[in-house]
Amino acid sequence: MERKTQRVLIILLLVPFVLPWNLFAQTDSEDNKPIFRTETDLVSLDVTVTDQKGRPVTELAKEDFIVYEDGKQQKVAFFSQEQRPASWGLVLDRSGSMAPMIEELYKAALHSVESGTTEDDVFVMTFNDHTELVQPFTSNRKELLRSISRLWAGAGTALYDAGASALDYMKGAMHKKKVLVIVTDGEDNASSISFKKFLNMAQRSEMIIYTVGLFDPMNTVSLRTNSFGPSGFFGLGVSNPRKQLERLAEETGGMAYFPKDMEQCIRAHRDIALQVSRQYSLGYYPRNTDADEGWRQIKVEVLGREKVVVRSPKSYRVSKTD
């Protein structure tokens, strides 16, 4: 399908990832869908397979996978479980409600960086009612640790603005595989853009977003209470931000986590790190070689494993070029 008149646009609804520690050693319209441009006719898929408890299934072979495009089975031409380098963005809430636990939470986020390659790099961005890039892309552990130490917390929560800034900064990433990890304990109350606009930007990006929301089981307040009452806007509570974090992660192929305490927070990051280190890479040449523009739907299945969960890109777009 390699023709001068077309290129394939692949949606990156990737499987859950998170920042690797040993790097130092459904949409409303077609326009809202995230796309990745490639000049070849090989459709590449990053696939994660887990059991019902979220544990990676790692012993699969090429013959275990079936790939469908628009309901028609495709021949798997490429298969690998080798890790690929990635660029990561860690987006951390530093609003006033985070003050008593900011150091613990930032260190917990760094626990997520366990299972990547030595080529991976990461940037750190923090936000309250303003966004600050506290660490540009680096593969240096000391620089990362220094960037998150002695940070003060205060003011409001401009989550959507921060997310938009992170998406924009990620455009300069070194690697094709990209992921954002967002940690927050409250709803947005200071952004200049709406959640709808931020979601639209995320859907159109070439990356996956993972969210860690520090809310209680009722999804209306964060983990902590203080003298002002429930945290997350000093006693004002929150308007169920969990649903927004879930939507953001699901629409970009990521996953939302809602730990109840610090131990679960660390476990959530480590769980995602483990999954990305066990990811499969598949590729196929579409049987449909027509040059017609439009979206093509993708489905990946695993033979003989009814109880496994398979996560992969869901579609890609074919379009003509001059």
Residues 230 and 168 in one domain: yes
Mean pLDDT of 11-30: 41
Residues 43 and 145 in one domain: no
SS3 state of residue 25: coil
d(CA 123, CA 170): 9
Task: Please state, in angstroms and as integers, the Cα–Cα distance from residue 87 to each residue in 13, 135, 193, 207, 265, following that order.
Answer: 16, 13, 25, 10, 22
d(CA 221, CA 217): 9
Give a yes or no: residue 180 inside a domain: yes
Residues 113 and 26 in one domain: no
d(CA 31, CA 59): 37
Evaluate whether 186 touches 162 at the Cβ level (below 8 Å): no
Evaluate whether 60 touches 278 at the Cβ level (below 8 Å): no
In tens, the pLDDT along 131-170 reads: 999 999 998 888 888 888 878 888 899 999 999 999 999 9
Residues 132 and 143 in one domain: yes
Residues 37 and 109 in one domain: no
Confidence of residue 274 (pLDDT cuts 50, 70, 90): confident
pLDDT at 130 over 90: yes
- Helix ranges (H only) for 48-169 are 102-110, 141-148, 159-169
d(CA 15, CA 34): 14
Give a yes or no: residue 149 inside a domain: yes
SS3 state of residue 11: coil
Evaluate whether 221 touches 232 at the Cβ level (below 8 Å): yes
Q: What is the CA radius of gyration of the chain?
A: 20
Mean pLDDT of 167-186: 90
Which pLDDT score is estimated for 285? 95
Q: Residue 154 contacts by C-beta under 8 Å, 6 or more apart in sequence?
A: 94, 95, 96, 99, 128
Q: Residue 236 contacts by C-beta under 8 Å, 6 or more apart in sequence?
A: none
Give a yes or no: residue 267 inside a domain: yes
DSSP letter at 40?
S
322 or 196: which leads in pLDDT: 196
Quote the Cα angle for 79-317-123, to 5°: 70
Which pLDDT score is estimated for 113? 62
Residues 64 and 151 in one domain: no
Give a yes or no: residue 147 inside a domain: yes
Residues 144 and 210 in one domain: yes
Structural domain for 139, as ranges:
86-275
Q: What is the CATH number for 212?
A: 3.40.50.410
pLDDT at 230 over 90: no
Residues 119 and 195 in one domain: yes
β-bridge mates for residue 89, sequence order: 123, 180
Which pLDDT score is estimated for 112? 67
pLDDT at 232 over 60: no
Confidence of residue 320 (pLDDT cuts 50, 70, 90): low
Distance in angstroms between the alpha carbons of the first and the last residue of the chain: 16
Lowest mean pLDDT among 17-21, 167-171, 241-245: 17-21
The domain total for the chain is 2
Helix axes 102-110, 262-277, angle to 10 degrees: 20
Reading the block at residue 182, the tokens are 């967002």
Give a yes or no: residue 62 inside a domain: yes
Which pLDDT score is estimated for 236? 36
pLDDT at 10 over 60: no
Confidence of residue 29 (pLDDT cuts 50, 70, 90): very low
Give a yes or no: residue 106 inside a domain: yes
pTM: 0.72
Residues 109 and 173 in one domain: yes
In tens, the pLDDT along 47-103 reads: 888 899 888 999 999 999 999 999 999 999 999 998 888 889 999 999 988 887 787
Residues 100 and 141 in one domain: yes
Which pLDDT score is estimated for 247? 84
Residues 163 and 144 in one domain: yes
Q: What is the CATH number for 76?
A: 2.60.40
Give a yes or no: residue 225 inside a domain: yes
pLDDT at 237 over 50: no
Give a yes or no: residue 1 inside a domain: no
Residues 249 and 141 in one domain: yes
